[in-house]
Amino acid sequence: MTIAVLGGAPVAAWAGDWGMGESNAKIPPSSIFNPVSTPAREIDTVAFFAIAITATIFLIVASLLAYSVLRFRARPGDDSREPAQVYGSNPIEFAWTTVPIIIVFVLILVTARTIYMIQAAPRPPGALSVQVIGHQWWWEFRYPALGIVTANELHVPLSDRHSPTPTFLDLESADVAHSFWVPRLAGKTDVIPNKKNSMWIDPQVAGTYLGQCGEYCGTEHAMMLLRVIVEPRADFERWAAAQKNPPVLDAAASHGRIVFESTACVNCHTIRGTAADGRFGPDLTHLMARETIGAGVAMNTPAHLKIWVNDPSQMKPGALMPAMNLGGKDLDDLVAYLATLR
Ligand code: CUA
């Protein structure tokens, strides 16, 4: 299920492709059986342990059952008497009570150890902390120590297994319950209004990892996708430095900027260095540094941006951003301005 849903192609095919099928095909599938971060690896281990024990029980029970069915089946010439019945055998009662209790107890202990190991991990000094805010239907990422705000694509540094540099995520919701899930990095964590949850990841392989909101949260729950981009420290720091700066304003796009600043865009979006400081929608300060738009609904190209700004429901029916209905030169200039936000 995980592989099919998160491989990208089925989701993208359902909503119209917008270049996502091709892009996601380059990213390894998001299998829970291919972990690259400690919490996901611990969960993978405990899952295999539970599967091994239950599969062994299944094989023993199924073999005994099959043997009994074949060995003691009715044969021509059998008399119709019942076989001898066993009642109140203390050794048998004792065995089939204690053995399952021991098995369940072992499973409880192993699971509790894993939960504790993941949830109680201390936050080492210098660990990166990111605030994750779930919105209908996109993800806001704030890096308080770095002064960075972005959306839907979380950049984190690569963690060396010998000197880990984990990233801690503090999750909250701006509206309804969501769930943050990147299968190769960690288990799901609920994102709940008025409650702070936290989790951590320490990805040990650089690359892009696909994730998905894991809790039904309304019409576009299926299109509340996210990406985690894991980069070597130097690349991460280069990205962070570029994000910290306000965008360079391009004089050629000044009319588009005027259009942006004089429409309802500014009520919902922030672009640092302009009058726009809304928080209802994603921060657009460095919009073009992202690969996708609409929480992973389309590749971030000027052609797709034009469709999106004109009427988001064409790409994402039910999206809470209204159609701007600008048309003509204003729309072209606005998109040209957005395309300068690198
Ligand atoms: Cu957010 Cu489902």
Q: Are 111 and 46 in contact (CB under 8 A)?
A: yes
Domains contained in the chain, CATH given: 21-64+91-232 (2.60.40.420), 251-338 (2.60.40.420)
The radius of gyration computed from the CA coordinates of the chain, to the nearest angstrom, equals 27
Going from the Cα of 219 to the center of ligand 1, the distance in angstroms, rounded, reads 9
Query: Does the C-beta of 135 come closer than 6 Å to ligand 1?
Result: no
pLDDT of 273-317, one tens digit each? Answer: 888 999 999 999 999 999 999 999 999 999 999 999 999 999 999
Q: What is the pLDDT of residue 34?
A: 94
Give residue 237's identity as a one-letter amino acid code.
E
pLDDT value for 21: 86
What's the pLDDT at 25? 87
Q: pLDDT below 70 — which residues of the chain?
A: 1-16
Residues found in the chain = 342
Say what the pLDDT of residue 82 is. Answer: 83
- Tell the burial category of 127 from Cβ atoms under 10 Å away from its Cβ (0-12, 13-18, 19+): middle
Give the pLDDT of residue 87: 87
Does the C-beta of 171 come closer than 6 Å to ligand 1?
no
Is the C-beta atom of 224 inside 6 A of ligand 1? Answer: yes
- Contact, 226 vs 211, CB < 8 A? yes
Give me the pLDDT at residue 287, please.
95
**Cα separation, 105 vs 121, whole angstroms:** 24
DSSP conformation class of 196:
-
189: helix, coil or strand? strand
pLDDT at site 243: 95
* Phi then psi dihedrals of residue 166, to 5 deg: -75, 160
Q: What does pTM read for this prediction?
A: 0.87
Instruction: Evaluate: CB of 6 within 6 angstroms of ligand 1.
Output: no
Measure 137 CA to ligand 1 centroid, in angstroms. Answer: 6
Ligand 1 pocket member 226 (CB < 6 A):
no
- List Cβ neighbours of 110 (8 Å cut-off, separation of 6 or more): 46, 49, 50
pLDDT tens digits, residue range 30-70? 888 999 999 999 999 999 999 999 999 999 999 999 999 99
